[in-house]
């Protein structure tokens, strides 16, 4: 919020080897005057601001200063403190310094002193004259400051010191503001919810547009000085509004009506600067007062909030703002002409403000990141604990499921032993008990073979926990093939895509028993000459087809609806997840089963 429209004031006393020229004469002229008028000179004391003497004069004012030089060969330099808005310097009628543009649009050299090392050929023994040709507009404090002549080393040191205070320090402030604005703008873009970074970035960037006024030497791209001053005031108003919103967000407060008013006033200032630059430029004091009001009210409110909250970061920011605020009172009084002087001090404290704000925002960001990291660590611990508990629970559940599966398989095995082997054994015992004493030996052996085959089927399907279906089918295929051969029945088997398929012991036993029952029925009842067995994998399903060329179920001793074997086969097909279909006719019987493979 620095304001700097005039140079540093000069010391009243001369330095060693330096002559201070602060008394002279002035005369006004038109824009295109190449030489000073011969009459109309008025005594003046520098620093002189001519709008007080010639109100409303826009154009050129010539200043004439004299000094006595005893030895023209002695090295002599000249230091002109101030020419606003632009000017040229003549020594004994010869030009020694000049701005590029002395008419509108004017160049701007008010922000730096002018140092010239005078050649001995320009100097005279005795009286020497300095003319300052100053071009300016009465609305913007035009005038000239004192001139010093004398020892080059002393004046060059003073020039460097004053240039640093009036130009270099402002360039440093501007660079820091742009860098901080850009950094916090990126932080806001990456973290849109935390708008405090966005408002601070907007404050610094709009403030940079205003601060550029202090180092600019040309008014490009604007067409004239009025437009430049109008936009300069508008940017100051916008920066003050953004600063107020930044402090509101920093204290985590929202006032929608106030925010809309600040936005509307900022937009109004920019609109007036674009549409009525001359009027706004000539009344810039009103707009600077409005922007200053934004700053003072918001900073005062923030100081109260910081004192109430006693937050360390808020107190640090308040301390960094307090000194610049106190200094700004003096600079505002100087700008509005309430006190005498030309030195603006606020730029010397702006670095403290920028560093302080950058520190507290960085502290706020780091604190937020630490909270996030702490939350992440706590969340990780909770997730690890929950994962461990879940793993334990899943392991326990898996163990229970394995136990239940094994128990189910055991129960199914018991049922299969009871229904198959047990039933056959009970029937054989009953048959032997009721058989005559001279029962043929072959009948007993056949009964025992049936028991053996049934027991082998149970053992083959359950002996190995993990076995390919093709490996389990091999012994059954061998036994049933031999059985069918005894009845002169030719059997053909087609097994496709069964490698790697594991049905599990219970489902394997159901499939094997279904095959056994179906082919046993062919052997006992069909009177067939040929039977074809096809078992193949189609995508994620198994398809079973058994076709014979026998008499068909209807003409066989075991009817389709009344046979216990068929009922058992349908039940096993249902447990496998499919439905058994039987197609019977005078030329044979076909059995169809389609069921899904386990996932």
Same domain for 178 and 258, yes or no, is yes
Task: Evaluate whether residue 572 is within a structural domain.
Answer: yes
> Average of pLDDT values for 547-576?
71
* Nearest partner of 113 among 75, 153, 156, 151, judged by Cα: 156
* pLDDT value for 58: 95
Same domain for 140 and 203, yes or no, is no
Same domain for 73 and 99, yes or no, is yes
Which of 9-18, 337-346, 427-436, 500-509 is predicted least confidently?
A: 9-18
522 band by pLDDT with thresholds 50, 70 and 90:
confident
* pLDDT value for 425: 64
> Average of pLDDT values for 218-227?
93
Structure tokens at 15: 């330095």
Does the pLDDT value for residue 404 go beyond 70?
Answer: yes
Residue at a domain's end among 140, 163, 186: 163
Same domain for 37 and 155, yes or no, is yes
> Average of pLDDT values for 578-597?
88
Same domain for 158 and 173, yes or no, is no
Same domain for 186 and 63, yes or no, is no
Which CATH number goes with the domain that contains 516? 3.30.565.10
> Average of pLDDT values for 175-194?
88
Task: Evaluate whether residue 409 is within a structural domain.
Answer: no
- What is the average pLDDT score of the chain? 84
Whole-Å CA distances, 176 to 28, 172, 198, 217, 471 = 41, 6, 17, 20, 81
* pLDDT value for 435: 66
* pLDDT value for 562: 45
* pLDDT value for 450: 65
Higher pLDDT, 66 or 343: 66
What does 169-238 look like in DSSP terms, one character per residue?
HHHHHHHHHHHHHHHHHHHHHHSTT-HHHHHHHHHHHHHHHHHGGGT-SS-TTSSSHHHHHHHHHHHHHH
Structure tokens at 245: 């919103």
Q: Across-strand partners of 530?
A: 490
Same domain for 121 and 28, yes or no, is yes
Assess contact for 59 and 124: CB atoms under 8 A: no
139 band by pLDDT with thresholds 50, 70 and 90:
very high
d(CA 538, CA 165): 90
* pLDDT value for 560: 41
* pLDDT value for 447: 66
Task: Evaluate whether residue 96 is within a structural domain.
Answer: yes
Higher pLDDT, 88 or 501: 88
Which CATH number goes with the domain that contains 139? 2.60.120.260
Q: Percent of the chain, pLDDT > 70?
A: 84
* pLDDT value for 355: 74
Strands 76-80 and 114-118 turn out to be antiparallel
Whole-Å CA distances, 81 to 29, 115, 348, 468 = 22, 9, 19, 103
Assess contact for 584 and 559: CB atoms under 8 A: no
Question: Can you give the residue range of the structural domain that contains 492?
Answer: 467-596
Does the pLDDT value for residue 336 go beyond 80?
Answer: no
229-251 CB burial, b ≥16 within 10 A, e <16: bbbbbbbbbbbbbbbbbbbbbbb
For every residue of 36-80, which 3-state class applies, written as one string? CCCCCCEEEECCEEHHHCCCCCCEEEEEEEEEEECCCCCCEEEEE
* pLDDT value for 57: 95
Cα 362 to the center of its chain, rounded Å = 17
Same domain for 142 and 172, yes or no, is no
Task: Evaluate whether residue 181 is within a structural domain.
Answer: yes
23-34 CB burial, b ≥16 within 10 A, e <16: ebebbbbeeebe
* pLDDT value for 482: 79
Tens of pLDDT, residue by residue over 427-482, are 566 566 666 766 676 666 666 766 666 666 666 656 555 667 888 788 888 878 87
The CA-based angle 275-276-282, given to 5 degrees, is 155
Same domain for 57 and 96, yes or no, is yes
d(CA 22, CA 5): 20
Same domain for 335 and 255, yes or no, is yes
Q: List the strands of the sheet with 76-80, edge to edge.
A: 18-21, 147-150, 76-80, 114-118
Q: Provide the number of structural domains found in the chain.
A: 3
Which of 143-152, 295-304, 326-335, 588-597 is predicted least confidently?
A: 326-335
Task: Evaluate whether residue 387 is within a structural domain.
Answer: no
d(CA 333, CA 327): 10
Residue at a domain's end among 364, 383, 416: 364
- CA end-to-end distance (rounded Å), the chain: 73
* pLDDT value for 554: 56
* pLDDT value for 555: 44
Residue at a domain's end among 364, 386, 403: 364
* pLDDT value for 408: 65
Q: What is the pTM of this model?
A: 0.62
Does the pLDDT value for residue 6 go beyond 50?
Answer: no
* pLDDT value for 209: 94
* Nearest partner of 243 among 305, 171, 285, 293, judged by Cα: 293
Does the pLDDT value for residue 4 go beyond 50?
Answer: no
Same domain for 132 and 247, yes or no, is no
* Nearest partner of 14 among 56, 75, 67, judged by Cα: 67
């Amino acid at each position: 919020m620095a304001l700097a429209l005039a140079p540093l004031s000069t010391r009243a006393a001369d330095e060693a080897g330096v002559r201070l020229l602060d008394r002279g004469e002035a005369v006004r002229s038109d824009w295109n005057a190449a030489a000073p008028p011969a009459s109309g000179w008025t005594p003046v004391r520098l620093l002189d601001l001519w709008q007080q003497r010639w109100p409303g004069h826009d154009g050129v004012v010539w200043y004439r200063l004299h000094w006595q030089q005893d030895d023209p060969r002695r090295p002599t330099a000249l230091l002109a403190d101030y020419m606003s808005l632009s000017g040229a310097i003549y020594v004994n009628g010869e030009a020694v310094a000049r701005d590029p543009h002395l008419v509108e649009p004017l160049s701007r050299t008010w922000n730096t002193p002018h140092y010239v090392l005078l050649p001995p050929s320009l100097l005279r023994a005795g009286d020497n004259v300095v003319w300052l040709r100053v071009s300016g507009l009465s609305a913007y404090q035009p005038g000239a400051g004192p001139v010093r002549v004398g020892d080059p080393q002393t004046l060059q040191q003073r020039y460097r010191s004053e240039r640093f205070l009036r130009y270099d320090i402002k360039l440093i402030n501007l660079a820091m503001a742009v860098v901080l604005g850009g950094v916090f703008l990126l932080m806001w873009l990456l973290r849109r919810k935390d708008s405090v970074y966005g408002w601070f970035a907007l404050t610094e960037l709009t403030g940079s547009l205003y601060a550029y006024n202090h180092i600019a030497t040309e008014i490009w791209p604007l067409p004239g000085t009025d437009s430049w001053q109008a936009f300069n005031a508008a940017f100051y108003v916008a920066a003050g509004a953004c600063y107020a919103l930044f402090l509101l967000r920093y204290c985590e407060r929202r006032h929608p009506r106030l925010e809309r008013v600040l936005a509307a006033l900022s937009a109004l200032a920019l609109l007036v600067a674009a549409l009525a630059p001359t009027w706004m430029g000539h009344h810039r004091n009103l707009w600077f007062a409005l922007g200053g009001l934004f700053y003072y009210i918001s900073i005062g409110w923030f100081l109260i909030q910081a004192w109430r909250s006693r937050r360390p970061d808020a107190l640090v920011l308040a301390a960094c703002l307090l000194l610049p605020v106190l200094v700004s009172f003096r600079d505002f009084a100087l700008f509005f002409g309430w006190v005498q002087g030309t030195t603006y001090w606020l730029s010397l404290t702006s670095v403290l403000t920028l560093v302080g704000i950058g520190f507290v925002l960085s502290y706020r960001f780091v604190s937020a990141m630490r909270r996030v990291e702490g939350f992440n660590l706590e969340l990780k611990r909770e997730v690890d604990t929950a994962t461990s508990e879940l793993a334990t629970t899943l392991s326990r559940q898996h163990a229970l499921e394995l136990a239940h599966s094994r128990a189910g398989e055991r129960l199914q095995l018991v049922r299969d032993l009871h229904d198959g082997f047990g039933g056959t054994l009970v029937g054989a015992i009953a048959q032997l008990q009721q058989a005559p004493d001279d029962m043929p030996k072959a009948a007993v052996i056949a009964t025992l073979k049936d028991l053996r085959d049934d027991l082998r089927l149970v053992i083959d399907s359950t002996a190995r926990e993990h076995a390919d279906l093709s490996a389990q089918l091999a012994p059954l295929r061998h036994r049933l093939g031999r059985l069918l051969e005894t009845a002169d029945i030719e059997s053909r088997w087609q097994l496709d895509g069964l490698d790697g398929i594991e049905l599990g012991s219970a489902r394997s036993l159901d499939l094997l028993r279904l095959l056994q029952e179906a082919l046993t029925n062919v052997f006992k009842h069909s009177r067939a000459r040929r039977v074809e067995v096809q078992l193949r994998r189609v995508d994620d399903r198994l398809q079973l087809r058994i076709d014979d060329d026998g008499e068909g179920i209807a003409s066989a001793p075991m009817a389709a609806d009344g046979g216990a074997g068929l009922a058992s086969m349908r039940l096993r097909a249902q447990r496998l997840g499919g439905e058994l279909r039987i197609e019977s006719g005078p030329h044979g019987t076909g059995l169809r089963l389609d069921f899904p493979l386990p996932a």
